[in-house]
């Protein structure tokens, strides 16, 4: 099993450009998440999807949109990139929110720079 995969690994955008980060998991997990990681701030939740067909905002959703394409795939879209969105983006998945023992597993990350 590949676990959680993300594409691309690196991306450079100009201010105002748009792009979509892709995430897929092969663990048959129900829940998926998008985080951003900034120095000294740990990981902050952008959006999550508790199950196929549902999405909800996390701590820092402004400037982002998501799509839960199917059970395996969860994409993150930046409609008009800003320098403040320069960050490393991680996708994660877990068996199911609400499970007492629910554990999140992370993908390799996408390093995004917005000029």
Partner 1 sequence: AQSVSQHNHHVILSEAASLELGCNYSYGGTVNLFWYVQYPGQHLQLLLKYFSGDPLVKGIKGFEAEFIKSKFSFNLRKPSVQWSDTAEYFCAVRRSNDYKLSFGAGTTVTVRA
Q: Give the binding site for partner 1 (CB under 8 A).
A: 4, 31, 40-45, 48, 50, 58, 90, 97-98, 100-109
Report d(CA 99, CA 12) in Å as an integer: 38
Does the bond joining 8 to the residue before it have cis omega, within 30 degrees of 0? yes
Q: Which is nearer to partner 1, 78 or 107 (CB)?
A: 107
CB of 5 to partner 1, least distance (A): 10
Q: Which of 73, 47, 50 is nearest to 60 (CA)?
A: 47
CB of 4 to partner 1, least distance (A): 8
Query: Tell me, what DSSP letter sits at residue 52?
Result: T
CB of 97 to partner 1, least distance (A): 4
Q: Tokens standing for 55?
A: 């999405």
Q: Which is nearer to partner 1, 85 or 104 (CB)?
A: 104
Q: Which is nearer to partner 1, 103 or 113 (CB)?
A: 103
Q: Which is nearer to partner 1, 65 or 106 (CB)?
A: 106
**Centroid of chain to Cα 3:** 15
Contact 32, 72 (CB under 8 A): no
């Amino acid at each position: 099993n590949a676990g959680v995969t993300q594409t691309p690994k690196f991306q450079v955008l100009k201010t105002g450009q748009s792009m979509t980060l892709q995430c897929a998991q092969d663990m048959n997990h129900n829940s998926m998440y998008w985080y951003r990681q900034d120095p000294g701030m740990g990981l902050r939740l952008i959006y999550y999807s508790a199950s196929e067909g549902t999405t909800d905002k996390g701590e820092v959703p402004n400037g982002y949109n998501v799509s839960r394409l199917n059970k395996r795939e969860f994409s993150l879209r930046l409609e008009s990139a800003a320098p403040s969105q320069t960050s490393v983006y991680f996708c994660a998945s877990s068996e199911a929110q609400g499970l007492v023992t629910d554990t999140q597993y992370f993908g390799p990350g996408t390093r995004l720079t917005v000029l």
